[in-house]
Structure 1
Amino acid sequence: MPEVCAATDGQLRFRTQETLRFGDQDVQGHINNAVYSTLLECNRVAFQTTGKCLVLEPTQNVVVAAIAIDFLRELHWPATVEIRLGVTRIGRSSFDFAQEIWLGETRVSRARSTQVLMVRATRKPTPLSEDQRQQLSDWFTS
């Protein structure tokens, strides 16, 4: 599991780090655009599994309903990137994340996604509990 950074400056306070792999490169010599999605996924999964940010019931899981990624700069191997996350909306059974990928002081990508809380057995949306709503609101960004 990636390290969860304790830094709280800026709006997207949940932070993880990922090391880029040689195999993440494409024929043009930069990190393939599909890898950005994987980096963002690792950050979201860490947010949902650290036990500190969003506590799920054993009968629940979270799925991605929508995602949009803006590619702002190229990434090159070797490097370690920081992925940042904040909550931008809390609905009845869904919530939205804003995420960014940073290489040092340079933002290389930003993304927006909608997550839906589901019951594992039925695969149907289920309302967020008051505790879950509070947990998400702790990470709210304007």
Structure 2
Amino acid sequence: MNVKAPPRLEDFPYRQTDNVRFGDLDPNHHVNNATYATYFETSRVSLIRHPEFGLMPKGLSWVLAHLAIDFRAEVHWPGVVELGLAVSRIGRSSVSYEQVVFHNGVCAASAAAVTVLVDQVSRKPTALPDDVVKKFRPWMRREAAIA
């Protein structure tokens, strides 16, 4: 039986923190499952739209094509969550990510996400420019694949 080791925050090259808000809670007084999608979005969008990283080619836009979340532990308010992101694959027009949310040193959720680069006018997928592929490389995991 092959048991996968739990995620470690240090394995994710892009990291940031976010606050747990009172409004993130559900009637069970823990962070609602839908809020995790927002945490994951925060780290993806912060990486992609950061002007220094150059991942937003002019006339093109990123759209989310896939998001799968595994819930691992409860998160309560008040507090801070640590968000981690690693690029796991670069395709012709898409980028795949592995993402995590940690709270008090424990992985509370992990996710797999895929974004697709589209033309802003036609809304059709478009090939990743070579310079964008190069700019994603620092955020890749060692075992990540480039198609």
- Structure 1 residue 104: Cα displacement: 2.7
Give yes or no for contact 1:47–1:54 (8 Å, CA) kept in 2: no
Look up the match of 2:140. 140
State the one-letter code of the partner of 1:112. A
State the one-letter code of the partner of 1:68. A
Look up the match of 1:82. 82
Structure 1, unaligned stretches of length 5 or more?
Answer: 1-8
CA-based RMSD: 1.2
Give yes or no for contact 2:99–2:112 (8 Å, CA) kept in 1: yes
In 1, Cα distance between equivalents of 2:75 and 2:132: 35
Look up the match of 1:6. none
- Structure 1 residue 52: Cα displacement: 3.2
Measured against aligned partners, the alpha-carbon deviations of 1:17-71 in whole angstroms (never above 9, x if no partner) come to 1101111110111110000000110111000111233421231110110110000
Measured against aligned partners, the alpha-carbon deviations of 1:71-90 in whole angstroms (never above 9, x if no partner) come to 00011111110100010000
Look up the match of 1:70. 70
Look up the match of 1:111. 111
- Judged with a 3 Å threshold, the aligned counterparts in structure 2 of structure 1 residues 85 and 54 are, in CA distance, closer, same or farther, namely farther
TM-score (norm 1): 0.90
- 1:45 maps to 2:63: no
TM-score (norm 2): 0.87
In 2, Cα distance between equivalents of 1:28 and 1:82: 22
Give yes or no for contact 2:119–2:126 (8 Å, CA) kept in 1: yes
State the one-letter code of the partner of 1:128. L
Task: Tell me the matched-pair count.
Answer: 134
State the one-letter code of the partner of 1:75. V
Structure 2, unaligned stretches of length 5 or more?
Answer: 1-8
Give yes or no for contact 2:55–2:136 (8 Å, CA) kept in 1: no
In 2, Cα distance between equivalents of 1:109 and 1:98: 11
% identical aligned pairs: 34
Structure holding more helix per residue? 2
In 1, Cα distance between equivalents of 2:80 and 2:106: 12
Give yes or no for contact 1:72–1:107 (8 Å, CA) kept in 2: yes
User: Any residues of structure 2 matched to 1:114-125 within 5 Å, and which?
Assistant: 114-125=114-125
Look up the match of 1:100. 100
